[in-house]
Amino acid sequence: MKGGDSTTYKRQDIPTTGYEKITLDERDDRHKAIHPTDTNTPKENMGVTWNAQSKHCKLNEFYTSHIYTFVDEADLSKKRWVRISGNKEAEE
């Protein structure tokens, strides 16, 4: 979450100290009162849809054409994915 004055201003209604101590059962009861139809089951249709074969092919293509290596001789902590071969048009 972002920090700083802008975030503090937007969250004035949420207390930062003096929380009410409640048990997990009480917390669960409050949640059920607010969300009565919540079944706590993950949804299958959420997130990015990937065709398993296309994902595998794209990753294999990326790994065969790139290498993870150092990009700065002076600073060995700088590593990046670098394309091994030249332009695709030049290869064909």
Per DSSP, the three-state class of 7 is: helix
pLDDT at 49: 61
* DSSP H helices in the chain: 5-10, 24-34, 52-65, 88-91
Place of tokens 């294999």: 60
Nearest alpha-carbon partner for 85 in 66, 61, 58 = 66
DSSP line for 68-81: EEES-SS-TT-EEE
Nearest alpha-carbon partner for 65 in 80, 50, 86 = 86
In percent, the amount of the chain with pLDDT more than 70 equals 64
Low-confidence ranges of the chain (pLDDT < 70): 1-17, 46-52, 54, 86-92
The predicted-structure confidence for 52-74, as pLDDT tens digits, reads as follows 676 777 788 888 888 888 888 88
Q: Is the pTM of this model over 0.75?
A: no
Ordered by start, the domain boundaries in the chain are 54-91
